[in-house]
Amino acid sequence: MQSITDAECRTVYNSPPPHENVLCAYNADVSTCLGDSGGYVGREVNDRFQQDCVVSFVNGDGCDTAPNGCTEVFPYLDWIESFVGVDNLHFWG
């Protein structure tokens, strides 16, 4: 997935993303659909899975190449660790 600027996101939604940790992203080949909220957006980095964000909202019913919103995971890793009981989820870098 590729993120787009807040200005580009505004042209689709007529408003900026709702929070500083939410980004608009799209992929020309595949998209998220209505009902995908809460799902992950991730990729393989150095032979390990990296979860980049969680799907937050889609454009209309989604399932097209319009940008969709996802909440970045990295700013919340400490909070996530406190709930799942795992230390050192910080493998980005």
pLDDT digits (tens, 9 = 90+) for 1-23: 677 787 887 777 777 667 778 88
Model pLDDT, residue 93: 44
pTM metric for this prediction:
0.67
Model pLDDT, residue 1: 67
Q: Which of 66, 68, 64 is nearest to 17 (CA)?
A: 68
| Per-residue pLDDT tens digits for 30-53 | 777 778 888 877 778 888 887 888
32: amino acid identity, one letter = T
Model pLDDT, residue 89: 58
Contacts 24+ apart (CB under 8 A), 40-45: 41/1, 41/70
Taking all residues of the chain, what is their mean pLDDT, rounded to a whole number? Answer: 76
* Confidence category of residue 92, pLDDT binned at 50, 70, 90: very low
Domains of the chain: 2-84 (2.40.10.10)
Q: CB–CB of 67/4 below 8 Å?
A: yes
